[in-house]
Structure 1
Amino acid sequence: MHPDSRMGAPARVLPSLLLGLLLASSPGAPGANPGLVARITDQGLQYVAKEGLVALQSELHRITLPDFTGDFKIKHVGRGHYEFHSLHIHSCELLSSALTPLPGQGLSLSISDASIRVQGDWKVRKSFLWLLNLFHNQIESRFREILESKVCEIIQKSVTSDLQPYLQTLPVTTEIDCLAGIDYSLMEAPRAAAQMLDVMLKAEIFNREHRTPVAFLAPVMSLPEEHTRMVYFAISDYVFNTASLVYHEAGYLNFSITDDVVPPTSNIRLTTKSFRAFVPRLAKRYPNMNLELQGRVVSAPVLNFSPGNLSLAPQMEVEGFVLLPNSARELIFQLGVTTNLSATLTFNASKITGFLKPEKVQVELKESKVGLFNVELLEALLNYYILNTLYSEVNAKLASGFPLPLLKHIQLYDPVVQIHKDFLFLGANIQYLRV
């Protein structure tokens, strides 16, 4: 026997889908704004539904249907009995599905236009085989009930055993490097709107060795109504400025310049002899001694977002020391260093990368123990070092980037980038890489 049944499963709300997201992390502090909002549009949800249909179809081929029996009564003839056993799905076509947000509730998954062909063995008592066709509708109805029940059981099982663990591959904390990590914990339950699902994440970068509270809050982000891509990421300036704070507090932006790092071909040497022409008192007081410049960024640089533009204006202090014969150092002057920088941010299949556009620095003499002097020579030296060494190191770090919160086996393509006030808005399509 080859029973064939076309089955249309009704729409069913799957709150466990949202539960899986909630299990991925703990909610953050109430009332705080997210540092990152991940938005899945209707296009993205339908892609998820399509991929889910492929997985479900594969699961259905592996199930075994239960045996079932039934009785039927024919007036003036008597009662009959049928049995069906060794049933299995021979072929399965699930042609259409939809994943729809239900505002305030969760997600609804519907499957329609499905064709399932079942094979198995059967037998009928009383030799009423010729009458079995009279009860075709009744038997088919039983098949539909069994198939729908089994499909729903498979979906619920997949949500519990497959989907929830998969959703938990959304990183809660991710290592950036040996110093910093990023906290992607959930700020609140995902918000389902008419054509999208928004997931609010903390997205705070922290020191992995000793995490301290951040003294500022993420701003409110007003996301544009964009639907041309499957997913969008609204990344607040909070994310980048918490990174700036971590690296600044760790002294990552501090630097030291001694004569041995000055190129051999340079006419400027970090020695009192080289400075004799424009700081005469220095050479007289400290003849034939080496100098050292120590620089630090006064406070963590703040990355400013404005429409179409990213900028920052770090302020530095540079102290000059004489290296005395007894290995001690003596402070002789202090400089103020300012510059304005522009930045570019891009993202690829899995992370955001950045680049600082080099700008010349301006130097001001703030204090001197060897009298007033022209700082042009030092300005030239600092520009050479900062442009060729310090910026290169920072850009190498920015090029390594930090990872976006993506589920396992998800890859982004067709990226678009917009810069808005206080946040970066990234859009992309997604592809699930089957393994």
Structure 2
Amino acid sequence: MVTLKGTLPSLLLGTLLTFTSGALGANPGLVVRITDQGLEYVAQEELLALQKKLHKVTLPNFDGDVRIKHFGSVDYGFHRRLNGSFDVKVKGITISVNLLLDSEPSGRPKVAVSSCSSHIHDVEVDISGDLGWLLNLFHNQIESRFRKALKSRICEIIQDSVTSELQPYLQTLPVTTKIDHLAGLDYSLMGAPQATDQTLDVMFKGEIFSRDDRSPVAFLAPVMNLPEEHSRMVYFAISNYAFNTASLVYHKAGFLNFTITDDMIPPDSNIRLNTKSFRAFVPRIARLYPNTNLELQGAVVSAPCLNFSPGNLSTAAQMEIEAFVLLPNSVKEPVFRLGVATNVSAMLTFNTSKITGFLEPEKIQVELKESKVGLFSVELLEALLNYYLLNNFYPKVNDKLAEGFPLPLLKKIQLYDPILQIHKVGGFSGALRIWGGGW
């Protein structure tokens, strides 16, 4: 149970949030923690909105009777058709609301009011007009009736606001989001939010999936523990699960495959993709296929996994590149196969609504795996492949990473003053922690 508290002149709101228990079948890929500072901010916004609504409260007509010394029993009625006016001052409103937060089967959040009570310390009514002097004689009874009517209206306003405003607003939290024509992002809730005295944790699936063929992921997200810090309003913790599911999708779709042809080589290059150029270090290929162009087809062997370590992100890419000679009638005949390995550093950046990335590869290492044209040195090919990967392959991947993927934020919410940290969780898994200053 967590309490939201906020103060405004003559108004105190205390909101109690209770949560249904939800057992998680798997670990979330992303956790959002709202601290007491964030909850306090939400409470202040609620206070402002509620105060505006209280200023617009329309009180019902009511009648009554009271016994006044020297006058006897007096019947009175308050109706909107009376001439004159009156001022009502309400002091010391205390409101306690129990909100039940849960998740729908679709993974969207839902909220309902389970109980509501209010207390008004004092109501002062000042009546003007022709009958004001008379009505002021029994102002205590009138103020009592006003207090009772206001208490009832306050909880009606809160119930209506939760149903007609808060619940639809929570529905703006994205459950699935399109990234591009290949991938989508699953931000469905994995259970009801979990609360302590100082924090509210919301757990999201955080999985990137194929839009054409969504199938279960073969690995689970790691367990994440957020730091026991409360200096900021909101914290995000993202495990490598989100990034590695993205790697699976794009690898399966062939996004990481590539083809190198001679027209992609710089005009001033000393090596061309043809058998004449290869004659110096692969003599047999020139004899078997004189003056014939070559084509290199590359593919990443398996989806690269992103590894987290304190302050660092890295991955290791294993590629296979197969060389073909381009024969007449569009026939491609394989001649040799290469293995390529490289280590890659990854950098992530964060703005007010999304995470973006950038890869910085090290020099590749090339190994001859199979050859139909005899053994040969791969050193010249290393230079050619390094040029292509650095100037074509990685820029393509970085352009995609620069598009980024959005964080699960409600409509009209943006974070400011973010801090990004990388922490090792255990084994080869880790978590990216984003400390958002506020919204």
Structure 2 length as normaliser, TM-score?
A: 0.85
Query: Where does 1:34-73 land on structure 2 (aligned, <5 Å)?
Result: 34-73=28-67
Query: Where does 1:23-422 land on structure 2 (aligned, <5 Å)?
Result: 30-74=24-68, 77-86=71-80, 129=133, 133=136, 135-421=138-424, 422=430
Unaligned residue ranges in structure 1 (runs of 5+)? 1-5
Q: CA deviation at 1:141?
A: 2.4
1:268–1:119 CA distance, 2 compared to 1 (3 A): farther
CA distance in 1, matches of 2:372, 2:146: 96
Q: CA deviation at 1:136?
A: 3.1
1:94–1:291 CA distance, 2 compared to 1 (3 A): farther
1:345–1:187 CA distance, 2 compared to 1 (3 A): same
Q: CA deviation at 1:403?
A: 0.3
CA distance in 1, matches of 2:220, 2:316: 21
Q: Does 2:433 correspond to 1:425? A: yes
Which deviates further from its counterpart, 241-250 or 133-142? 133-142
Alpha-carbon displacement from aligned partner over 1:107-137 (angstroms, at most 9, x marks no partner): 999999999988888887xxx955x556433
* Contact 1:73–1:79, Cα closer than 8 Å, also in 2: yes
Alpha-carbon displacement from aligned partner over 1:237-284 (angstroms, at most 9, x marks no partner): 100000000000000000000001111121211000011111110101
CA distance in 1, matches of 2:437, 2:94: 19
Q: Secondary structure at the match of 1:389?
A: helix
Q: CA deviation at 1:75?
A: 6.2
* Contact 1:335–1:363, Cα closer than 8 Å, also in 2: yes
Indicate the residue corresponding to 2:108 in structure 1.
none
1:54–1:350 CA distance, 2 compared to 1 (3 A): same
Q: CA deviation at 1:210?
A: 1.3
Q: Secondary structure at the match of 1:339?
A: strand
CA distance in 2, matches of 1:415, 1:96: 36
* Contact 1:337–1:363, Cα closer than 8 Å, also in 2: yes
CA distance in 1, matches of 2:406, 2:197: 29
Q: CA deviation at 1:142?
A: 2.0
Q: Secondary structure at the match of 2:219?
A: coil
1:118–1:165 CA distance, 2 compared to 1 (3 A): farther
CA distance in 2, matches of 1:100, 1:176: 38
1:299–1:95 CA distance, 2 compared to 1 (3 A): farther
1:398–1:12 CA distance, 2 compared to 1 (3 A): closer
CA distance in 2, matches of 1:327, 1:89: 93
CA distance in 2, matches of 1:416, 1:100: 34
CA distance in 1, matches of 2:123, 2:258: 69
Unaligned residue ranges in structure 2 (runs of 5+)? 1-8, 103-110, 425-429
1:201–1:284 CA distance, 2 compared to 1 (3 A): same
1:343–1:94 CA distance, 2 compared to 1 (3 A): farther
Structure 1 length as normaliser, TM-score?
A: 0.86
CA distance in 2, matches of 1:74, 1:115: 22
Which deviates further from its counterpart, 294-303 or 223-232? 223-232
* Contact 1:86–1:120, Cα closer than 8 Å, also in 2: no
The count of aligned residue pairs is: 413
* Contact 2:174–2:187, Cα closer than 8 Å, also in 1: yes
1:10–1:243 CA distance, 2 compared to 1 (3 A): closer
Code of the residue aligned with 1:212 in structure 2: it is: S
Q: CA deviation at 1:346?
A: 1.3
CA distance in 1, matches of 2:237, 2:219: 18
CA distance in 1, matches of 2:164, 2:129: 34
